[in-house]
Structure formats: structure tokens, C-alpha cells
Amino acid sequence: MNKAIIAGLAAGVLVVGLIFSPLFNGFPLSAAQAAPTGVTRHYTLIANEKVVQVAPDDALHPGGIMYNAMVFNGTIPGPVMASNVGDTVEITLKNEGKQIHSIDFHAAIGPSQVLSGNVAPGESKTWTFNTPNSGAFLYHCGADGLNGVWEHIANGMYGGFVVHPTNEAPAKEFYVVFGEIYNSADGGLFVGANKTGSFDITKFATEQPDLILTNGMAHKYAPAVGQAVKLTLNANATLFKVKPGELTRWYIVAPGPNEGVSFHFISGQIDVKDGSFKGRGMTQERNEETWWVPVGSASVIESTFPEEGIYVGVDHNMAHVVRGGAFVVQATNNSTADDVPPEAWVPSKAWLTEHPTMGGSMTGGSAMEGSSGNATSSGGNATSSGGNTTSG
């Protein structure tokens, strides 16, 4: 073989080796993991099945769209949970539904911490995991040992877990989850559905989502588009509000189950805080116009909106925008620290530090153990996949 070719191949192998070596790897490594803090945070997730509204009554979806969903704590998405890096997290999963459910936590490492194992109807399971690496992470139902996991995710059983780094600057924080719906009863845009639909495996297998949800509903935070010709998207839309010039932090979650999110702020730019270099916290920063959040992942995105006005966060796949993947941010001097929509509120690093034994709360009531509306499980002896199973 030509010596030049051999030299080129050797150089290529060296470059690849360096990229994936601990010296250059941008992902959290065991050597960079934080020491345990001694703090344990307690969360409860309640799995169930219920009918939810996933699109408003508008021109795109006449009459609105209802759907047979699967949920954690009553809503799509499940509650955002959070810890400070190095905390221990105790999770209780209680199954109040009619199907087998389970949990896969991307924030943890190792089968005994990541996976709950099956939780049958009427049962609950409690286990713990550590959070040695900072970042934003997906959690989702694992169905029956992964059999049907695609359906459970498509039906809404997902959420985000935030691990705050030690060096994190204060910011106004928001939780936004983009999810897909494959609906057997949805006739398409401007047609709608005349009944409550269920998971459509043909649409799923051919990657043809009917809707892109933002925190559980298409165009939940997008009232309309158009100036000369106006198209109402959601007459009851909520707007995100920020102060001009303040640092904002967005936890963007892409559960799929098929497609990621090309995230962009119209009229803005973003700093991406994903990854972790050896010996440091979440300091890998990139200035971007559009950032790809892969399916099954989450990103930490910071942005400052320089002047008053309207900004729009979108999945820059335009087919996704028209199906619901957009939200409006209003920069106004009238914004306050407390005007975050409840379902988008994230337990901040400061809040967690002030409440050292508690978790946080979000959609559908709290995921925090002992809070109103949530059950806690008793200890059990039948251990499976790192958890204790008890009868309900």
C-alpha cells in the first residue's frame, strides 16, 4: 500500500482516538464526576392512562384534539425534577394505571440506578440513583422491559431531569418539552378529529407525526401567526415573559420518539451549555443560531433578549412548526420573577439549596414526596432492577 495512504490512515486513527479519548471528550466522564453532597432528594411519579387535550380548537384543528394518553402525575409531559450535582435522588414510581409501566432515567448511570424494572398495576417501587454529572436529561417510560416503549413515549410518558452544576450563574429558568403525537383519529391539518384517538403504529413507523406538542399541547404558547392574513393558533395561549437583558436558561427536551429538535429563537441567538470537560462543571459553551437536540436527549440553552418585543422559540423544521412546535417569548419590563407558567417552572439551584431534603414540583401537581396529591410507597422486600416492589 502507498506510504502516503498508510500515513493518512494512521493520522485519521490518531485524530479519532483523540476525539474519543478522555482528553478531548466533551461528555461527562467518571473522572470528572462530582463528589456526593450527602443530600437526598425525594420524588414520586404516578403512572396512569387518561384522555387529554393535545391541540386547541382552531382552524388547524377544528374542535380541538383529544387523545388517549399515558402520563406521569396526570399530564404530558411528566414533572421536571431537579438536583444539585452530587445529590442522591430517591424515586418512587407508583402505577395507578391498567398497564405495566417503568422508568428509564438518562441522568443516572448503571442498570440498577437507571432502570426501575416493571411496575405492575397497583404496585409501586422505590430506588435511588446518584447525579454525578451536571446537565439536562430525559426520563421516559420503559414500558414492559422495552416492549412497547415506542408507544408509551409517543403517548406522553416522558419528562426532564435537571442537574445543576456547582458554577451555575443565576438565571430565569424554563422547562419546554417537544413531543410527537401519532393519532389514529386525526384526519390532518384543517380537518381535525371527530373522536378521541389512540396511538397509530403505521404513522409512527413511517415517521408522520400529526402534532408536535410543547409541554403537552400543540401551539400551547403560540397565539397566532400572520399580519396581513392572520391565522389563529391558540386563542388561549400563554406567553413566556422575560425582562430585556436578563439571563434566561431553557431546558429543551426532545423525547421524540422519532425526531429531534432544531432549536432556534427568532430574533435571538443562543449559548449552549451542554457537556462537561474533565475537572470542570457545565462549561462547554457554544454560541449558536440553531442547535440540534437529538431525539432522546435534552439541552441547556441560555439566551438574553436585548430589547422589548416578541421572540419566538421554534423547532426550525417548518413542518414541525405548523404542527405545534413553537412558543412565544415576550420581552417586557413588566415581567417578574414569578410569572413563569407553572408547568414550565424549574426548581433552581438556589431553591434546591434552600430546601436540602426536598425535590421540586411541576405539571399535574408535585413530584415531591409528601406533597399534596402524591402517594409515597412503603418499603418492600421484593427487589428487582434496583428497586423495591410493594403492592398498592
> Can you say which residues are annotated as belonging to the binding site for Cu cation?
101, 106, 140-141, 152, 157, 316
Print burial letters for 229-254: b (CB count within 10 Å at least 16), e (below 16): eeebbbeebbebbbbeeebbbbbbbb
Annotated binding site: 101, 106, 140-141, 152, 157, 316
Q: Mapping DSSP to helix (H, G, I), strand (E, B) and coil, where does residue 202 land?
A: helix
Question: Do the beta carbons of residue 360 and residue 82 sit within 8 Å?
Answer: yes
**H-run or E-run covering 288:** strand 286-288
**Calpha distance 212→231 (Å, rounded):** 18
Tell me the C-alpha distance between 325 and 225, whole Å. Answer: 13
Contacts of 278 (CB under 8 A, 6+ apart): 22, 23, 25, 29, 31, 32
Helices assigned H by DSSP within 1-88: 3-19
C-alpha grid cell for residue 55? Answer: 391541540
- DSSP secondary structure code for residue 36 in this structure: P
CA atoms of 245 and 332, how far apart (whole Å): 10
CA distance 256 to 277: 27
Q: How many CB atoms lie within 10 A of CB 167?
A: 12
SS3 state at 337: coil
Residue 314, helix vs strand vs coil = strand
